């Protein structure tokens, strides 16, 4: 037994910094949306470079008729992270977010959490950041125009990310709901981007160097048909991200060189679930490390079949963790029981009675 | 777009009730430790009865030299739950808890979290609750005396649980560290139990109807040797709960009828990792539903090879959730982004700038 007096207050060891939605928005606005995406992109790229160091596993899903709840864990041997994320396409009509998320970092050596964070906002940033990391290696040289099919929650983040990191100056927007396009156009005013609202997907993709698809239907859909994609374009496919949910016609896939995050997960969730299980794909990290080639010529159609992977969330959480002390955008949560004597959990509960 | 004015405050939809360690201790003390364990035991037993309704998966571990971090998800189709839990045997010497945990419940239909809770304290209660549920079906009739080998954080909760639910009146305590035994004996004074500190494991098990082993070493250990276990005893083995960690000599297993929670997990983590992968075991839930027999005679050695399963955490979290409104022992966390227009996450972030 330790001789020191028993304290009734939680020790600093018991406290976990928590970033609420409010504090995350404060942080994003202090850093700036585009700068924060660029910072996260740098972290994601650095972590892709050390890909073999990570424990990787396909996410752990709980599917239901209405949607999916997933846990996405990973670890680099020093820090452990996981994200909780849901995807419920019917939520929007009910006034809920389609995707909400939170995440956690912990120390591998003690197992103690070191940060809990909202990740609905942060996931939007990391998804855009991942897209630009891939596009850096896959998009045509000097790309200036991007089509965005699906103008929901991800649209503006993608637009700003490609503007900031890749120098895209024009976005051509299309959504089956014109109100979504109007919302995105309004939000993107005064960002330096030329915003072109379009009345068809065909109009949006015409003349685009990059096509980003980010729709939310949970079903096999054909957002892009084969005739809409031309030589040299880069397709950044975000929305096909769970079993039974795809956005591209199969023929497009057969004409494209396909790049993925983590094949065991993408085969189940990505556009390539439409293809044979041994259809050749290239892992993005091997392009970043130079082991494989990204874009090799100006006629090639490249496809980043993005489903979102745990390491990207890990990178984003670590980026946020690195800013916490400077910005103070957190509160302490009394989440971990920390008795003076670790074996005396019962005594701690008993002593709390008198408090 | 909705016409209603954009609010800058998080909506009630964005708020997740959070039970801090402090609030959990308040709740435990209001309900009473023993009564709360009994309440959780009833919930666990009810959920074992509807076992086929649950999505079940072995927990998702991240192993390191120092310990393990695990995610334990499950769902009954209406409610989803998961627990984060670590196990780091070296933590105690560093002044950290060996096991810390937190958990979450969410709605399956929307994917929205409905409760975040500390689970270091709650796991201690649910582990004791699970033990008594099993013992109700497996322990000898009229059991009055229990040996407890390992007098760490779990010891007092086990003692009170067996006293309250099974009518155990005497506990015989042994730990390799006499200070741990002294701590437990002190905590158990005035609980109605006769507490007998012992100086050897052999002394502790002598005359015991039930033997509970709850030690924390992360290694193959032999807390009980074959000669220490006699006809008719029930063994409640708690501490063998990860690969490479066991407490019982293999010969004891070969003389026992073995009952487990979820075989795919117990084969990896439990005492039975010492046996052939097809060694017969009985699933506890089938005993509770009457499909299989529990204890069948007074000479039989029964062994509950407990490793802890996700449904037990789910049951405990649901029990706590049911008490929240009455007791008010929670605070609201701004954890889920909830823009007025779900597609306008970007706009929500922008508007926060002015706030």
Nearest CA in chain B to A65: B109
* Residue indicated by tokens 């954009």: B6
A302-333 per-position pLDDT tens digit: 999 999 999 999 999 999 999 998 999 999 99
Structural domain range at position B70: 13-121+311-342
A186-208 per-position pLDDT tens digit: 999 999 999 999 999 999 999 99
With respect to residue A341, please indicate whether it lies within any of the assigned structural domains.
no
- Token output for B172: 């015989």
Between A32-41, A157-166, A345-354, the lowest mean confidence (pLDDT) is in A345-354
Asked if B219 and B281 sit in the same domain, the reply is yes
With respect to residue A243, please indicate whether it lies within any of the assigned structural domains.
yes
Asked if A234 and A281 sit in the same domain, the reply is yes
**Which chain B residues are within 8 Å of A98, Cβ to Cβ?**
342
CA distance B313 to chain A (A): 16
* Total-model pTM: 0.91
pLDDT-derived band at B217 (thresholds 50, 70, 90) equals low
* Residue indicated by tokens 């290694």: B219
Between A55-59, A160-164, A177-181, the lowest mean confidence (pLDDT) is in A55-59
CB-based contact B183 A333, cutoff 8 Å:
no
Percent of chain A with pLDDT over 90: 78
Q: Residue B29 and residue A207: Cα distance in Å, rounded? A: 68
Asked if B316 and B329 sit in the same domain, the reply is yes
Percent of chain B with pLDDT over 70: 95
Whether chain B has a CB inside 8 Å of the CB on A349: the answer is: yes
Mutation test of the interface with chain B: which of A335, A348, A354, choosing the one with the most B Cβ atoms within 10 A? A335
Whether chain A has a CB inside 8 Å of the CB on B191: the answer is: no
Mean pLDDT confidence for A4-31? 81
With respect to residue B351, please indicate whether it lies within any of the assigned structural domains.
no
Asked if B250 and B192 sit in the same domain, the reply is yes
**Which chain A residues are within 8 Å of B81, Cβ to Cβ?**
none
The yes-or-no answer on residue A241 being catalytic is yes
A122-132 per-position pLDDT tens digit: 999 999 999 99
CA distance A213 to chain B (A): 15
With respect to residue B5, please indicate whether it lies within any of the assigned structural domains.
no
With respect to residue B354, please indicate whether it lies within any of the assigned structural domains.
no
Whether chain B has a CB inside 8 Å of the CB on A352: the answer is: yes
- Token output for B59: 């927990």
A104-114 per-position pLDDT tens digit: 999 999 999 99
Mean pLDDT confidence for B71-83? 97
pLDDT computed for residue A3 by the predictor: 38
With respect to residue B3, please indicate whether it lies within any of the assigned structural domains.
no
CB-based contact A62 B108, cutoff 8 Å:
yes
Mutation test of the interface with chain B: which of A346, A347, A354, choosing the one with the most B Cβ atoms within 10 A? A346
Contact B120, B149 (CB under 8 A): no
Asked if B61 and B168 sit in the same domain, the reply is no
pLDDT-derived band at B219 (thresholds 50, 70, 90) equals low
**Which chain A residues are within 8 Å of B184, Cβ to Cβ?**
346
A74-98 per-position pLDDT tens digit: 999 999 999 999 989 888 788 888 8
Q: How many domains does chain B have?
A: 2
Mean pLDDT confidence for A44-68? 93
Q: Residue A170 and residue A143: Cα distance in Å, rounded? A: 10
Between A29-38, A134-143, B185-194, B337-346, the lowest mean confidence (pLDDT) is in B337-346
pLDDT computed for residue A355 by the predictor: 67
Between A115-119, A265-269, B113-117, the lowest mean confidence (pLDDT) is in A265-269
CA distance A279 to chain B (A): 29
Residues with Cβ < 8 Å from A54, sequence gap 6 or more? A47, A74, A75, A76, A311, A314
Give me chain A's average pLDDT, please: 92
Whether chain B has a CB inside 8 Å of the CB on A337: the answer is: yes
A40-51 per-position pLDDT tens digit: 999 999 999 999
A204-229 per-position pLDDT tens digit: 999 999 999 998 765 667 889 899 99
Q: Is the pLDDT confidence value at B90 over 90? A: no
Asked if A154 and A299 sit in the same domain, the reply is yes
Asked if B228 and B277 sit in the same domain, the reply is yes
Asked if A218 and A262 sit in the same domain, the reply is yes
Q: Which of A67, A342, A348 sits opposite B98 (nearest CB)?
A: A342
Q: Is the pLDDT confidence value at A5 over 80? A: no
**Which chain A residues are within 8 Å of B87, Cβ to Cβ?**
111
Whether chain B has a CB inside 8 Å of the CB on A56: the answer is: no
Give me chain B's average pLDDT, please: 92
Question: Beta partners for B182?
Answer: none
Contact B143, B45 (CB under 8 A): no
Q: Which of A60, A186, A334 sits opposite B71 (nearest CB)?
A: A60
Q: Is the pLDDT confidence value at A6 over 60? A: no
CB-based contact A180 B343, cutoff 8 Å:
yes
pLDDT-derived band at B220 (thresholds 50, 70, 90) equals low
Asked if A75 and A134 sit in the same domain, the reply is no
Residue B29, CA distances (Å) to A353, B37, B100, B104 in order: 6, 12, 20, 22
pLDDT computed for residue A218 by the predictor: 55
CB-based contact B120 A66, cutoff 8 Å:
no
With respect to residue A203, please indicate whether it lies within any of the assigned structural domains.
yes
Q: Which of B60, B151, B335 sits opposite A102 (nearest CB)?
A: B335
Nearest CA in chain A to B86: A111
Whether chain A has a CB inside 8 Å of the CB on B218: the answer is: no
Question: Beta partners for A70?
Answer: A61, A85
Asked if B304 and B318 sit in the same domain, the reply is no
pLDDT computed for residue A4 by the predictor: 44
Query: Which residues numbered 252-311 in A keep a CB inside 8 Å of some CB on B?
Result: none
Catalytic machinery residues of B: 241
Residues with Cβ < 8 Å from B277, sequence gap 6 or more? B267
Asked if A130 and A273 sit in the same domain, the reply is yes
pLDDT-derived band at A1 (thresholds 50, 70, 90) equals very low
Mean pLDDT confidence for B279-285? 97
Q: Residue A42 and residue A45: Cα distance in Å, rounded? A: 5
Whether chain B has a CB inside 8 Å of the CB on A35: the answer is: no
pLDDT-derived band at B97 (thresholds 50, 70, 90) equals confident
Nearest CA in chain B to A85: B111
Nearest CA in chain A to B87: A111
pLDDT-derived band at B241 (thresholds 50, 70, 90) equals low
* Residue indicated by tokens 């013992």: B135
CATH number at residue B183: 3.40.50.720
Q: For the purposes of burial, counting CB atoms within 10 Å of the CB of B276, is it exposed (0-12), middle (13-18) or buried (19 or more)?
A: exposed
With respect to residue A350, please indicate whether it lies within any of the assigned structural domains.
no
Q: Is the pLDDT confidence value at B7 over 60? A: no
CB-based contact A349 B28, cutoff 8 Å:
yes
Nearest CA in chain A to B100: A336
pLDDT computed for residue B1 by the predictor: 36
Between A80-84, B26-30, B91-95, B246-250, the lowest mean confidence (pLDDT) is in B91-95
- Token output for A53: 């160091």
Asked if A133 and A102 sit in the same domain, the reply is no
CB-based contact B187 A344, cutoff 8 Å:
yes
- Reduced to 3 states (helix: H, G, I; strand: E, B; else coil), residue A304 is strand
Q: Considering A241, A276, A338, A340, which one is annotated as catalytic? A: A241
Residue of A338, A336, A340, A337 whose CA lies nearest to A5: A340
Whether chain A has a CB inside 8 Å of the CB on B56: the answer is: no
Nearest CA in chain A to B353: A29
CATH number at residue A63: 3.30.1780.10
Position with higher pLDDT, B239 vs B109: B109
Whether chain B has a CB inside 8 Å of the CB on A83: the answer is: no
């Amino acid at each position: 037994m330790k001789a020191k007096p028993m304290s009734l207050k939680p020790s600093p060891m018991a406290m976990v910094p928590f970033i609420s939605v409010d504090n995350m928005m404060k942080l994003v606005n202090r850093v700036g949306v585009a700068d924060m995406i660029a910072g996260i992109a740098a972290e994601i790229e650095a972590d892709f470079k050390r890909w073999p160091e990570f424990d990787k596993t396909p996410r752990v899903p709980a599917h239901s008729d209405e949607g999916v709840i997933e846990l996405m864990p990973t670890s680099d041997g020093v820090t452990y992270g996981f994200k909780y994320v849901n995807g419920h396409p019917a939520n929007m009509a009910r006034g809920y977010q389609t995707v909400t998320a939170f995440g956690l970092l912990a120390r591998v050596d003690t197992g103690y959490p070191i940060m809990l964070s909202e990740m609905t906002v942060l996931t939007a940033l990391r998804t855009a950041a991942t897209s630009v990391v891939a596009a850096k290696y896959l998009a045509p040289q000097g790309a200036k125009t991007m089509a965005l099919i699906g103008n929901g929650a991800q649209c503006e983040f993608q637009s700003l990310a490609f503007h900031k990191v890749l120098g895209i100056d024009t976005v051509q927007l299309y959504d089956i709901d014109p109100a979504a396009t109007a919302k995105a156009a309004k939000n993107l005013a005064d960002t330096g981007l030329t915003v072109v609202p379009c009345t068809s997907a065909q109009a949006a993709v015409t003349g685009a160097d990059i096509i980003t698809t980010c729709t939310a239907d949970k079903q096999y859909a054909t957002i892009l048909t084969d005739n809409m994609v031309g030589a040299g374009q880069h397709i950044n496919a975000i929305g096909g991200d769970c079993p039974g949910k795809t956005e591209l016609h199969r023929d497009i896939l057969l004409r494209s060189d396909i790049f993925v995050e983590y094949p065991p997960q993408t085969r189940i969730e990505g556009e390539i679930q439409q293809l044979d299980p041994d259809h050749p794909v290239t892992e993005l990290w091997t392009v970043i490390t130079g082991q494989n080639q990204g874009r090799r010529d100006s006629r090639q159609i490249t496809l980043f079949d993005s489903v979102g992977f745990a390491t990207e969330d890990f990178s984003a959480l670590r980026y946020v963790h690195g800013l916490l002390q400077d910005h103070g955008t957190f509160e302490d949560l009394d989440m971990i029981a920390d008795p003076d004597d670790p074996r005396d959990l019962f005594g701690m509960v008993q002593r709390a009675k008198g408090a």
